[in-house]
Amino acid sequence: MHIHTACLVSAASLLVGMPAAADVVTGKLTPANAKAVVVDASGKIIAELKPGAYQLQLPPGRYKAQCQAPGKREQEFLSLSEPVTVNVDCS
């Protein structure tokens, strides 16, 4: 992921008054018995993840993947203006 390029694209779209496009976030949730949710910066649940591959479309911003089972952990990630891969391991 080229963060600098993505930040410049987002900043440029803000400067010209155009809304930033939603980002495609893909990844894999492991292990096979894992349960997790994605929350936004305010803590609102945006999506529930099931084990295996997933794909979400999220507006630019800060998010957390919160594991609920089998272990409890959090993983922060950014959604920018280019595709992002976020693999979540809840073991």
CATH topology of domain 3-89: Immunoglobulin-like (2.60.40)
Nearest to 42, CA basis, from 73, 64, 19: 64
**Residue 30 neighbours by CB distance under 10 Å:** 15
Measured distance CA(41)–CA(5) in Å, rounded: 23
pTM listed for this prediction: 0.74
Q: What is the largest CA-CA distance in the chain?
A: 46
Q: pLDDT of 44-73, one tens digit each?
A: 999 999 999 999 999 999 999 999 999 999
Q: For the chain, what are the domain ranges?
A: 3-89
Give phi and psi for 6, each to the nearest 5. Answer: -65, -40
